Amino acid sequence: MDNYNIETLCVQAGWQPTTGEPRVLPIYQSTTFKYDTSDAMGRLFDLEDSGYFYTRLQNPTNDYVADKICKLEGGVAAMLTSSGQAANYYAVFNITEAGDHVIMSSKIYGGTFNLLTFTMKKMGIECTVVDPDIEEDELNGLFKANTKCVLAESISNPSGVVLDFEKFVRAAHAHGVPLIVDNTFPTPINCRPFEWGVDIVTHSTTKYMDGHAMCVGGCIVDSGNFDWNKYPDKYPGLTTPDESYHGLIYTERFGKAAYITKATTHLMRDLGSIPSPQNSFLLNVGLETLHLRVPKHCANALAVAGYLKSHEKVAWVSYAGLEDDPYHELAMKYMPNGTCGVLCFGIKGGREASIAFMDKLKLACIVTHVADARTCVLHPASHTHRQMTDEQLIEAGVQPDLIRFSVGIENVNDIIADLEQALA
């Protein structure tokens, strides 16, 4: 499978039936798995053998889908989680504990912002929030002895900021910590962060990967490139004996799979954010057309962005696909085939005018969702980012009048006609 192009991987990677087995990925709708001897089961609990024993930790259907996403990203190991929130939480918490410090981009999904600055803060993990356009020198000055990772989004939701991967990779690696990138918006079809030196990628599979707004889900993929053993004092969870597994050392026993194995054996075991096999089956159906849908989303979004840009009632448009967008140059470098189908704009007349306009849309529905086949629209300041103060909104790149418009894969003329009548 490894030598195939990404379109082929979307369709065929993961489940590989042998003779007489189902052609389509089976749903292993079972919490538990049978063994012939007590000893055989015991060896699984000691991590002596690999195998399935309880779906809270691992399930075959989930793992085949994780394997597909792993190959799409070009990683060495991956795990599915029950949501994108769980993916980002596990990705960070797998290598942090109370007393540690994390650096996070300010241009980030509202849920991730709350997770790091509110919930994980309560767990004793401190977070410094930085503007992704920060000068490299200034970024370098923010690392501390207890900094354990840097977290950012390849294209930020909702503000559409494209990350300068090389700047963040250099800074993270100069301080001996991994860069974790949430690659939900461009998907591996448009951007493969590992090729730019990123260490770990996360996804909300809820968005384009599922593509039909059917299942909430997440994924973590490890590039296998970060050398935990180079900084043994920093990542004791991976490099020193684990008392909850008879003193085994993850990097010694599992090599490049250490990070994902620990996330499974610790975080899934103890916190249990596993997706249901049924949902993973549906996610896999979505993945089979990811390579067809993403370019269509991008082409439609570019046409919509161009239309809005030239409309007299529209105050501003933000879409990195537009040539005069401040992030166009970074987009051309890191995702030359396209960015994503999500764009932002504001209506002249501010917050109230934007809200009134949204209520007039017919084809584009107001939903708390983004990045699926159906065009949809949201006003972050009144919805997803409602908890934030105006100051925090601006810091997160969310102007109070910002409309997040997720362009679907319908006929683009119908989408533009809907905008036209609502603007009128």
Q: Which two tokens stand for residue 279?
A: 């949902």
Q: How far is the CB of 287 from ligand PLP (least distance, A)?
A: 15
Pairwise CA distance, residues 65 & 61, whole Å: 7
Q: Which residues pair with 204 in a beta bridge?
A: 218
Q: Which is nearer to ligand PLP, 245 or 281 (CB)?
A: 281
Q: Which is nearer to ligand PLP, 208 or 228 (CB)?
A: 208
Instruction: Name the residue nearer to ligand PLP (CB basis): 181 or 347.
Output: 181
Q: Token pair for residue 362? A: 């017919």
Question: Closer CB to ligand PLP, residue 109 or residue 245?
Answer: 109
Per CB under 6 A, does 385 bind ligand PLP? no
Angle at 174 between CA 143 and CA 225, to 5 degrees: 115
Nearest residue to 56 (alpha-carbon basis) of 284, 282, 270, 283: 270
Residue of 105, 187, 204, 261 interacting with ligand PLP (CB under 6 A): 204
**Interaction of residue 406 with ligand PLP, rule CB under 6 A:** no
Shortest Å distance, C-beta 207 to ligand PLP: 5
CB of 384: closest distance to ligand PLP in angstroms? 9
Compare residues 32 and 368 and give the one whose CB is closer to ligand PLP: 368
- The CA distance from 133 to 106, in Å, is 10
Decide if residue 109 touches ligand PLP (CB under 6 A).
yes
Between 127 and 314, CB nearer to ligand PLP: 127
Which residue in the set 83, 105, 280, 354 belongs to the binding site for ligand PLP (CB under 6 A)?
Answer: 83
The two structure tokens encoding residue 59 = 């399930």
State which of residues 84, 178, 186, 224 lies at the interface with ligand PLP (CB under 6 A): 84
Tell me 247's DSSP state.
T
CA dihedral 67, 72, 73, 77 (to 10 degrees): 10
In the block, tokens 């499974």 appear at 264
Q: Tell me the residue nearest to ligand PLP as measured from the CB.
A: 84
User: Residue 177 corresponds to which amino acid?
Assistant: V
Among 112, 190, 280, 300, which residue interacts with ligand PLP (rule: CB under 6 A)? 112
153-172 residues in contact with ligand PLP (CB under 6 A) are 153, 157
The DSSP annotation for 122-151 comes to HTT-EEEEE-TT--HHHHHTT--TTEEEEE
DSSP, collapsed to helix, strand or coil, labels residue 422 as helix
* Of residues 261 and 375, the one with the C-beta less far from ligand PLP: 375
Query: DSSP code of 25?
Result: P
Q: What does the binding site for ligand PLP look like in residue numbers (CB under 6 A)?
A: 83-85, 88, 109, 111-112, 153, 157, 182, 184, 204, 206-207, 216, 218
